[in-house]
Copies of this chain bind each other. A is one copy, B any other.
Amino acid sequence: MAAPLQLHPDRLFSSDETQRGIARRLYAEVKDLPIISPHGHTDPSWFALNEPFPDPAQLLIVPDHYVFRMLYSQGIPLEALGVPSVDGTPVETDGRKIWHRFAENYFLFRGTPSRMWLDWVFAEVFGLDVLLSPETADLYYDTIDAALRTDEFRPRALFDRYKMEALATTEGALDDLAHHKTIAASGWGGQVITTYRPDAVVDPEMPGFADNVRKLGELTGENVENWDGYLAAHRTRRAYFREVGGATATDHGHATAKTLDLPRAEAEALFGRVLSGDARPGDAEAFRAQMLTEMARMSVEDGMTMQIHPGAHRNHNEGVLTRFGRDKGGDIPAPTEYVTALKPLLNAVGNEPNLNVIVFTLDEDSYSRELAPLAGHYPALTLGPPWWFHDSPEGMRRFRERTTETAGFYNTAGFNDDTRAFLSIPARHDVARRMDCVWLAQLVAEHHLPEDEAAEVAHELAYGLAKKAYRL
């Protein structure tokens, strides 16, 4: 007989009766709040076109690097999981076969957040009540496949069912935002906004950088061969992203958190070198660093919240990069320093009370040592939630344990799901709400915070702080 699939109402709560009781009460007040998803990577075409999602494997396995990296780590080839190759390697296309491979190895996910998110999707979205296993794989496949062919499982219907108040996607600076225009013109009420992500026109080491900058000039009519024109082009695109795509934020994914605030002439000369291909060693890093400060200055002007996501060593696995391309589970966190790295930016604009720079980290060691002390001092700085590998129950626990005493709750930015796995978004917010209630329940149970104050904080963490941080 198949094992049952049960989402226990008390899941993640402490088994200590006192704490569990408090957590239940706090959670009851926040569990049904609308979802604010101010940073993520869903595809705006889903909401623009509202077409049915593809088959279960193409929806839940093939695009989810959390899922296929774990399977790959245990020796299952990516091609057997249907991950598209870039070198012509033939890959599995039979969704049911992929699904069976996944089901046979579902035990690998024990203790991981992927298991929590997937079980939630299976139970809550598709109504499955037995655990995924080789025996139930076909039942799963058939049930999900059938549901996905119905209108109730189209993107907009799910968006509405999920009570999403706002969802931000992320587009490159050169994107025409066609899908966001379509959404706006459609009459559908869902608030799907974009985010300005200029990495491709800011990072001289990105393939095609010079071409990208040239296109930026064409799109904006600015002379991007000089520094002022280049900056003006960014201002123009930021305005376009705000006006056409509803953007309230920018996003910056650099290898480090390094910032610079060079004298104008030096910045201009640096730009000249990186654009012309005459860059010296260190120029690319310096230019990215300078641009973070420039972007922060633009945020002071135009009010856009600035997000900095540093610290990933991208495409660590060269074999996988060659055969399957970027973003295939081979990104690995690296030690990341913030105190000296952020100093130039913070000394330029860190005392601006109306600027909001949200910093994320993949290096948890920086929580108590660097980030909480910085955020607990600089008006412009806010801590982003636990990110990527740390978007998990234990990751969330460590985040609150290590940041609250120095930065408090109000210098944190609420939750981001940061995902392209649209179906699991409510599960991710639910885990965050639960874990914040677990932390607050411990503070209450240990007489560190009165319960009425904890309830106020829980509401802010689940809803209010994200709205405020992203000006939604």
Q: How many copies does the complex hold?
A: 3
Q: Closest chain B residue to A18 by CB distance?
A: B15
Q: Tell me which of A184-192, A224-232, A345-353, A415-423 binds B.
A: A345-353
The CA of A389 and the CA of B402, in the complex, are separated in Å by 10
- Could you tell me the distance in whole angstroms from the C-beta of A392 to the nearest C-beta in chain B? 4
Q: Tell me which of A24-32, A65-73, A120-128 binds B.
A: A65-73
Q: A15-B445, A110-B457, A448-B12 are in contact. Are A375 and B73 (CB under 8 A)?
A: yes
Contacts of A376 in B (CB 8 A): 69-70, 73
Contacts of A452 in B (CB 8 A): 3
A97 within 8 A of B: no
Is there contact, CB below 8 Å, between A378 and B73? Answer: yes
A19 within 8 A of B: yes
Residue-wise, chain A 348-378 has the 8 Å CB interface mask toward B (1 for contact) of: 0011010000000011110011101111111
The CA of A331 and the CA of B339, in the complex, are separated in Å by 10
A334 within 8 A of B: yes
Residue-wise, chain A 393-410 has the 8 Å CB interface mask toward B (1 for contact) of: 111000001101111111
Is there contact, CB below 8 Å, between B339 and A411? Answer: no
Count residues of chain A with CB under 8 A from any CB of chain B. Answer: 92
Q: A370-B333, A395-B405, A450-B3 are in contact. Are A111 and B443 (CB under 8 A)?
A: yes
Contacts of A407 in B (CB 8 A): 73
A453 within 8 A of B: yes
Is there contact, CB below 8 Å, between B449 and A329? Answer: no
Contacts of A116 in B (CB 8 A): 448
Residues facing B in A2-18 (CB within 8 A) are 3, 8, 10-16, 18
Q: Tell me which of A47-55, A158-166, A316-324 binds B.
A: A316-324
The CA of A375 and the CA of B378, in the complex, are separated in Å by 35
- Could you tell me the distance in whole angstroms from the C-beta of A439 to the nearest C-beta in chain B? 9
Is there contact, CB below 8 Å, between B368 and A364? Answer: yes
- Could you tell me the distance in whole angstroms from the C-beta of A4 to the nearest C-beta in chain B? 8
Contacts of A88 in B (CB 8 A): none
- Could you tell me the distance in whole angstroms from the C-beta of A363 to the nearest C-beta in chain B? 5
The CA of A10 and the CA of B445, in the complex, are separated in Å by 10
The CA of A108 and the CA of B69, in the complex, are separated in Å by 40
- Could you tell me the distance in whole angstroms from the C-beta of A180 to the nearest C-beta in chain B? 32
Is there contact, CB below 8 Å, between A448 and B409? Answer: no
- Could you tell me the distance in whole angstroms from the C-beta of A248 to the nearest C-beta in chain B? 19
A75 within 8 A of B: yes
18 more contacts with CB within 8 A, not counting A70-B408, A112-B406, A317-B347, are A13-B446, A15-B16, A15-B19, A15-B442, A73-B377, A75-B353, A110-B457, A111-B448, A316-B377, A317-B378, A318-B347, A319-B347, A319-B350, A333-B369, A334-B369, A335-B365, A364-B368, A368-B390
